[in-house]
Amino acid sequence: MQPRTIIEKVWDSHVVAEKPGAPTLIYIDLHLVHEVTSPQAFAGLRERGLKVRRPDLTFGTVDHSIPTTPRDLPIVDQVAAAQVKRLEDNCRDFGIPCFGFHSSHQGIVHVIGPEQGLTQPGMTVVCGDSHTSTHGAFGALAFGIGTSQVEHVLATQTLLQQKPKTFEVRVDGALRDGVGAKDIILALISRIGIGGGTGCVFEYRGSAIRSLSMEERMTVCNMSIEGGARAGLVAPDDTTYNYVNGRPFAPKGDKWEAALKLWRQLPTDEGATYDKSISIDASALEPMITFGTNPGMGIPITGAVPNPGDVSDPVERETLAKALRYMDLQPGKPLLGHKVNVVFIGSCTNSRISDLRNAAAVMKGRRVAEGVRVMVVPGSQEIRRQAEAEGLDRVFREAGADWRDAGCSMCIAMNGDQLQPGEYSVSTSNRNFEGRQGKGGRTFLASPLTAAATAVTGVVTDVRRLLNGQVHGA
């Protein structure tokens, strides 16, 4: 057999039907649903009189529109409350397990899938959310879908898909102190642009990727979509198996051994080729930060804002100029030292326990700068409890930060956690689009370390200035 990439292996093992004149029908192993993109799909099922084919392969939670205030308080926004109730009702009516608003396992859908052991190597995973790419960290082919496709998967457990192209992202070398997973992915996107991976699935490889923890790999895979790729994955290894083993939904006993045998066959064969390839030297990376209104507009934190005058293509030039007008930034100036109003630490990109530990290590014994609002939002109830058991909540509170309950929060600003017009934030989330974190708000995307450093100084800060050797990576 021809050598194959892991992307082709997972694809090939999920082909249900290939008919002339139609895309390939592929099987879906895990379908995650949340409150925002599913109600119209369930309504479609009801209209057609269809059932959910495999409720046992479907899992629900609420995350996008819920408040991050304590869970004993009601959802004040009645439109959001109705949407949350609709998801819980739909899951009950169709027999789908659901970690609802009051569940002690509730969390951001891309945080709880891995946390519960639902996400496993070699799976196909879909969700009506573009950051489904997160689950690729386990060697799963995981991608976001629209609401029509949510309905297709609910009804048939399959999807019509065109076979994706393969895109090798090699990251070799040792990361320097203060530089981590978020900086790798922001650096990649700044190089290829936010449309660079369109039509492709990334495979992240190389020594720097191998040395990342599962949580760090999730951060990298999470933002594959910001590079235009619907999915990005990392071949599984012992780091993966050690993470999955023992989790509630992971296979047990003989099933675990059988699964391991299959999973060990997943990594890309020697001699397999990719449609595209890029190589990044991890040892040369600096902490990254975005200056503009898409995640591709990123620079090393010591860099300067680019000049639209240097861009030859007129539409590209106007796109950059428009971004700088929106952000109210001057070309050629550094971002370092730029005042911020808000720091947001959270989202499916960076709300896991290691992210919170990194942020807490920087903030411990320091105070949030005067006039800065800092929100720390854990990705799940389990992470919240773990952080509280470790005393991280006390570190954040004593520094003057706001310790919240789990949800998407200010990443998407659907729930009232938002920037005011004109405010600047450093955020650990994944999108800096105009108004993404609140109408008129201005977002600089960065790592939890950079966000924490900025929280205590009040201005965009190079975390390496504050490190005393106690924090490595991010």
Partner 1 sequence: MDKFTALKSRFVVLPIDNIDTDQIIPARFLKTISKEGLGDQLFYDWRYEASGAPKPDFVLNQPVAQGRRILVAGDNFGCGSSREHAPWALTQYGFRAVISTSFADIFKGNSLKNSLLPVVVPRDVHEWLLANPEAELNIDLASQTLTLPGGRAVEFPIDAFSKHCLLEGVDELGYILQQEPAIAAYEAQRPISVNTLAGVL
Rounded Cα distance, 427 and 180, in Å: 15
Q: How far is the CB of 181 from partner 1 (least distance, A)?
A: 21
Q: How far is CA 176 from the centre of its chain?
A: 23
What is the smallest separation between the CB atom of 144 and partner 1, expressed in angstroms? 4
Residue 84 or 301 having the CB closest to partner 1 = 84
Distance separating alpha carbons of residues 83 and 97, to the nearest angstrom: 17
Q: In angstroms, what is the minimal distance from the CB of 462 to partner 1?
A: 28
CB 335 within 8 A of CB 289: yes
Contact 290, 433 (CB under 8 A): no
Quote the least distance from Cβ 395 to partner 1, whole Å: 31
- DSSP 8-class letter at 465: G
Q: What DSSP designation does 459 have?
A: B
- Closest alpha carbon to 179 in 271, 287, 261: 287
- CA quadruple 342, 346, 349, 355: dihedral, nearest 10: 110
**How far apart are the C-alpha atoms of 327 and 421, rounded to whole Å?**
11
Nearer to partner 1, 1 or 22 (CB): 22
Nearer to partner 1 by C-beta: 143 or 403? 143
Beta strand ranges found along 386-435 (DSSP E): 402-403, 424-427
Q: How far is the CB of 211 from partner 1 (least distance, A)?
A: 27
Half-sphere exposure of 53 (CA within 13 A, CB side): 15
- The nearest distance, CB 147 to partner 1, in angstroms, is 4
Nearer to partner 1, 249 or 304 (CB): 249
Residues in a beta bridge with 277:
168
Comparing CB distances to partner 1, the nearer of 65 and 240 is: 65
- The least distance separating partner 1 from the CB of residue 151, rounded to whole angstroms, comes to 7
Report the nearest approach of partner 1 to the CB of residue 461 (Å). 27
Contact 324, 305 (CB under 8 A): yes
Residue 136: both structure tokens together = 């690729």
**Nearer to partner 1 by C-beta: 381 or 437?**
437
359 Cβ neighbours under 8 A, 6+ residues apart? 345, 376, 396, 448, 449, 451, 452, 455
CB of 458 to partner 1, least distance (A): 27
Q: Dihedral of CA 460/429/180/333: which sign? A: negative
Is the CB of 193 or the CB of 331 nearer to partner 1?
193
Alpha carbon distance 264, 243 (integer Å): 15
Structure tokens at 119: 């996400």
- The distance of closest approach from Cβ of residue 187 to partner 1 in the complex, given in angstroms and rounded to an integer, is 18
- Residue 370's nearest CA partner among 449, 458, 453 is 458
- CB-based burial of residue 357 (10 Å sphere; 0-12 exposed, 13-18 middle, 19+ buried)? middle
Contacts of 150 (CB under 8 A, 6+ apart): 31, 33, 37, 38, 41, 128
Which among 152, 120, 161 is positioned nearest to 137, based on CA atoms?
Answer: 120
Q: Identify the residue whose tokens are 């971004």.
A: 323
Task: Give min distance, CB of 436 to partner 1, in A.
Answer: 5
CB closer to partner 1 out of 22 and 73? 22
Token reading at 86: 């609709």
Rounded Cα distance between 88 and 68, Å, is 18
Give least dist CB 361 to partner 1, A: 32
